[in-house]
Structure 1
Amino acid sequence: MSAVDPRSVRLMTAATLVAVGVAVTLVTIKAVAWAMTGSVAMLSSLADSTLDCLASLVNLLAVRHAVQPADADHRFGHGKAEALAGMVQAAIVTGSAGFLLSEIIDRFRDPQIPQAELAGVVVMVVSIALTLGLVQFQKYVVRRTGSVAVGADSLHYTGDVLMNLSVIAALGLGKWLGWSWIDPVFGLGIALLLLKGAWEIGRESFNMLMDREFPDADRERIMALATGHPQVIGAHDLRTRSSGLQDFIQVHLEVDGSLPLRKAHVIADQVERSICAAFPKAEVIIHLDPDGIREPRLDDRIAGA
């Protein structure tokens, strides 16, 4: 049976704490910059950072719950808390985009050239530096753990880098060229980027909550490992799903029906070890079927659906 890696737990916890710290810092400096510039692009960036802070707090709580080991009431662990956090983030970001769109409409009706552009640019440069450092750390954690919650936060903050660059462009062009319309245009682009991120986060979280199967390439690899044992005659009814840091794989193996139970058990253990070596985060459950016995199969029901 696979156990949650303590190093992964530490990395995920550290990533959520760092994200909250960076988000609080960004909210503070952007609030000051918005008060100085009156820029809707700056406001949009401030709103996004505020909601990123809330989302990071949700992630912090979700990760603390998700990494808890299985207990009597949750035999498959608590990993889906990550997916729930992802759904909450998607909802928060969608609401943020709606708010920004309403502000953008007002600014199109009453165009204004942002003031104190130097202060805005300085804040954005600092924001970009902080966010890039956070994103690099988050990507490292995602590579090591595969965390959905940390990956969702990383997507947020990657978008923030692009948003901050857009704010710098809006402030500069508005001042130098006198384009009062450029500020709400960049704000509109940021709002659309937020909606795109919300869709991606929500889709990944929904797939985990709905126990979506592994990609076809992974399923084919599992079947190849299962049938690669010389005493396995066939395999069927493969089921796969993910729950936070934990993957679950179930498969039926067909073996010679005349084999002693102990020998069949040894075969199943050998196949389980080979699959676990290829999928180290997986808990593998194997059911043995005597060759030649035909019974209702999940594969047949799916094929006939």
Structure 2
Amino acid sequence: MSDNRTKLIRKGRNVEIASLIYNIIEVAISLTAGFMTGSSALISWGVDSIVEANSAAFMIWQLNGVAKGIDERAKRKRKKIALGVLSTAFTIAVLFICYEAISKFISQDAASMSWWGIGILLVSLVVNPTLAWGKHHYGKKTDSATLKYDAIDTMICEYQTIVVLVGIGLVQWQGWWWADPLAALLIVPYVAWEAYESGRDAWRVQIDEDHDNE
């Protein structure tokens, strides 16, 4: 690998490190606010942030290997493991979100206001596109399929953030208690698709092949 590509891979890894740190902050604030206010949407968003944090952690592990110049077989093995773990995490997130939202539909409990929750959502509207741009930029520069894939995941989080904000707004300003669990359920198709795609891609990675994108 050329020195220039190694430098670009390391820069992509640094973006993933920033993504990991920010997602940990998202998880801490959104889950705390979600459980305190009874907001299914915030809790579900926080659970998805856990998945995104895991994604960033495995991306860092994978890119570290690439930057260190490990052999092609080891690269493919790391990619397969990372995608497999992601698929499992996404699947668990789908099951949890469905349980949380359906429970709220049954109880019909309205979520209360959380300025902390709204604050982290508003911050994420700015941070997520920035992180996605960095991942896509370095993914394109290095022809890294996993970096570009992770950039798409981050933009899906942007959509989820907008959905959750709308749901919370309808609960607080219109009194529509059902908007909160509905917002949570609207996240499910995208998380489920991520579970399918990452699982499919993990299956397609052949460790003993002669070539594969990182």
Out of 77, 99, 103, which is 1:102 matched to? 99
Runs of at least 5 residues in structure 1 that lack an aligned partner in the other structure: 213-239, 245-305
Write the mapping of 1:1-305 to structure 2, written as runs, cut at 5 A: 5-70=5-70, 74=71, 76-80=72-76, 81-209=78-206, 241-244=211-214
Work out the CA distance in 2 between the residues paired with 1:67 and 1:40. 40
Does the CA contact (< 8 Å) of 1:63 and 1:82 recur in 2?
no
Work out the CA distance in 2 between the residues paired with 1:177 and 1:115. 13
Does the CA contact (< 8 Å) of 2:135 and 2:151 recur in 1?
yes
Work out the CA distance in 2 between the residues paired with 1:112 and 1:169. 18
Task: Compute the displacement of 1:160 (Å).
Answer: 1.1
Query: Structure 1 residues 87, 67: closer, same or farther in 2, change over 3 A?
Result: farther
Task: Compute the displacement of 1:117 (Å).
Answer: 4.9
Work out the CA distance in 2 between the residues paired with 1:136 and 1:177. 35
The letter of the residue matching 2:212 is S
Work out the CA distance in 1 between the residues paired with 2:28 and 2:178. 27
Does the CA contact (< 8 Å) of 2:139 and 2:146 recur in 1?
no
Task: Compute the displacement of 1:205 (Å).
Answer: 3.3
Query: Structure 1 residues 211, 188: closer, same or farther in 2, change over 3 A?
Result: farther
Aligned length: 212
Larger-Rg structure: 1
Between the two proteins, what is the percent identity of the paired residues? Answer: 20
The letter of the residue matching 1:203 is R
Structure with the larger strand share? 1
Deviating 4+ runs (over 4 angstroms):
none
Partner SS state of residue 209, structure 1: coil
Instruction: State the superposition RMSD in angstroms.
Output: 2.3
Work out the CA distance in 1 between the residues paired with 2:145 and 2:89. 16
Task: Compute the displacement of 1:22 (Å).
Answer: 1.6
Q: Which piece of structure 1 moves more, 58-67 or 127-136?
A: 58-67
Runs of at least 5 residues in structure 2 that lack an aligned partner in the other structure: none
TM-score by length of 1: 0.63
Task: Compute the displacement of 1:211 (Å).
Answer: 7.8
Structure with the larger helix share? 2
Partner SS state of residue 109, structure 2: coil
